[in-house]
Amino acid sequence: MNQLMLALSDVFNFGSILSLLIGLIAGYIVGVLPGLNRVTALAIALPFTYHLSPLAAISLLVGISKGGAAGGAITSILLNTPGEPSSAATCLDGYPLTRQGKAKKALGTALYSAFFGDFFATIILILSAAPLAKVALMMGPIEVCSVLFFSLTFIAALSGTSLIKGLLAGLLGLFFANVGLDVETALPRLTFGFVDLYDGVPLLAVGVGVLALSEMMLQIEAAVTSPAGIQAAGESRLQSQEGLKWSEFKALSRTLVRGSVIGTVIGILPGLGATIASFLSYALAKKASKHPERYGKGELEGVAAAESADNAVTAGALIPLFALGIPGSVGAAMLIGALMVHGVTPGPLMFEQNPRLIYGIYGTMVLASFLILPIGRFGLKVFSQLTRIPDSFLCPVIVYLCFIGAYMEGSGMFAVWLVILFGVLGYLMKKLDLSFVTFLIGFILGPMIELTLRQSLITLQGSWTRLFQHPIAMVFVLLTLLSAWRLSLMGQKFGKT
């Protein structure tokens, strides 16, 4: 109890609170700006933590992580431009809501969903770090591979009106995921001699090009061919600017809990990340919905599912860090660096050797969850005014932001050309009614499926009977087969119609 009281005094120390506020505001701004991300901000902030106290240093980095996760939804909803790659799923229903004049409602849903997911995962972290980390240790390459294959089956649920088109879009995403160096032989694949592609196609270039730039192409086309149509579309964004009602938020409770659980679990498993969590949560929400046809057209549940899972990953990734010393994400790895600079070794011994610091970090994370609400509400009022800007001015600005974000991502003009390429691809996909969701799922999961599949084949040593020694993997294999069977039934149904 004495250590807990000392930790609380550290949490409410002026220096710790100031570091946390600076981190939250900086992270929120970084999340809003396309092209910047939490990892970049954490890397820049890390040297500034050397002269801070251990708790103030962690407070700064935790603030950047949580603020970046919450801020990424702003441009996704207002401009169809994901501020963070993990916010791409939020675009799917957030931007249609903006076009319907419900930007404030969508932003409110994103903010409170972010708070719910973050707070939920933080409480899980405090209550059960060690037990859940032990579960994570049971997830080897075979288990992770089975989970990823099971995730691919959600393409069927997100294919839209055409199952065939959904599968084609997913395969197209898998194709682009193969660009880069082979994970086993390090030989270049589909790089066409461009060294910039050795690390693969950047997710930011794909997300910004396919989602944002393609949308701008369509709106500019509409402005040229039908000026009255785009003017009416711009005016529709200004209608019914009302916020989220309590009854509407209460109706999202199941989606929020489901998304928060998914985000926490994905956060525990190293290497998966917030992007997979948000898309997986979105897919399950659509599958469980009584009105799946509303998804992609402006459904609040879609925004809630993506944002709750995205923000839950931040705290979930700290569970294996504190219990085992294993980072669940790149952001968690940055925290390891900050702790080790101050002479603290992450892992189970932290609970015995540094209980005051552990309790202080827990208190800081809870405080950060609540402080993001007023920061987010202020940001909501400020950024929602973007909907009042005429499309004739807004479209060129968004195109400019797309190019600047791609340029700052690290590959210079090459990344800009990639954004243009995927913008044209996204434009054609919209014209052909191909699913963006299945394309992005295939692109994101492709590299991890290939890596874990190769690791699994080596582990099994060519004997499929060894798979029975992995019960968790067997469960997901059976679920995948069941989903494939249902998929075949859907294919027969579409064939008859």
Number of H-type helices and E-type strands within the chain = 23, 2
Contact 364, 16 (CB under 8 A): yes
Position 37 pLDDT exceeds 70? no
Block residue for tokens 């055409």: 162
386-389's contacts with Cβ under 8 Å and 24+ in sequence apart are: 386/78, 386/79, 387/78, 387/98, 387/101, 387/103, 387/237, 387/238, 387/241, 388/238
Q: Give the residue from 57, 60, 16, 7 showing the smallest Cα distance to 338.
A: 57
Q: Name the pLDDT band for 4 (thresholds 50, 70, 90).
A: confident
C-alpha pair distances (Å), 83 with each of 34, 86, 119, 211, 398: 4, 8, 22, 12, 12
Contact 206, 443 (CB under 8 A): yes
- What is the number of structural domains in the chain? 1
DSSP string, 377-442: HHHHHHHGGGGGS-HHHHHHHHHHHHHHHHIIIIITHHHHHHHHHHHHHHHHHHHTT--HHHHHHH
| Buried residues in 413-449 as b, exposed as e (16+ CB within 10 A) | ebbbbbbbebbebbbebeeeebbbbbbbbbbbbbbbb
Quick: pLDDT tens for 90-115: 888 988 888 888 888 888 899 999 99
- CA-to-CA distance for 234 and 388, rounded, in angstroms? 8
Contact 354, 114 (CB under 8 A): no
Block residue for tokens 């441009």: 75
Q: Letter for the amino acid at 282?
A: Y
Mean pLDDT over 356-385 rounds to 84
Position 345 pLDDT exceeds 80? no
Mean pLDDT over 35-52 rounds to 72
Q: How is residue 257 written in tokens?
A: 């809990």
- CA-to-CA distance for 309 and 72, rounded, in angstroms? 13
Print the domain residue range for 57. 2-496
Q: How is residue 346 written in tokens?
A: 């992450």
Q: Letter for the amino acid at 425?
A: L
Q: How is residue 365 written in tokens?
A: 């994370």
Q: Letter for the amino acid at 392?
A: S
Q: How far is CA 448 from the centre of its chain?
A: 16
Q: Give the residue from 149, 211, 200, 152 showing the smallest Cα distance to 177.
A: 200
Quick one: pLDDT at residue 329?
64
Quick: pLDDT tens for 147-203: 777 777 765 555 556 677 777 888 888 888 888 888 777 888 888 888 888 888 887
Position 494 pLDDT exceeds 50? no
Position 415 pLDDT exceeds 80? yes
Position 497 pLDDT exceeds 50? no
- pTM, rounded to two decimals: 0.70
Is the C-alpha dihedral spanning 156, 158, 160, 165 positive or negative? negative
Quick one: pLDDT at residue 159?
59
Mean pLDDT over 268-285 rounds to 79
φ/ψ of 444, rounded to 5, equals: -75, -45
Q: Which of 89-98, 324-333, 484-493 has the highest mean pLDDT?
A: 89-98
| Range with lowest mean pLDDT among 74-78, 234-238, 255-259, 410-414 | 234-238
- Report the chain's mean pLDDT, rounded to a whole number: 79
Quick: pLDDT tens for 304-326: 999 999 889 888 888 777 776 66
- CA-to-CA distance for 494 and 32, rounded, in angstroms? 41
DSSP string, 151-196: HHGGGTTTSTT-HHHHHHHHHHHHHHHT-EE-TTT--EES-TT-GG
Quick: pLDDT tens for 118-133: 999 888 888 876 666 5
Q: Give the residue from 67, 63, 72, 34 showing the smallest Cα distance to 306.
A: 72
In 203-329, alpha helices (H): 203-207, 214-225, 227-236, 246-250, 253-268, 274-288, 300-316, 318-324
Quick one: pLDDT at residue 270?
61
Mean pLDDT over 123-147 rounds to 74
Q: Name the pLDDT band for 217 (thresholds 50, 70, 90).
A: confident
Half-sphere exposure of 125 (CA within 13 A, CB side): 32
Percent of the chain with pLDDT over 90: 7
Q: How far is CA 313 from the centre of its chain?
A: 8
Position 496 pLDDT exceeds 60? no
Q: Name the pLDDT band for 226 (thresholds 50, 70, 90).
A: low
Contact 440, 207 (CB under 8 A): yes
Q: How is residue 400 written in tokens?
A: 């400019």
Half-sphere exposure of 207 (CA within 13 A, CB side): 28
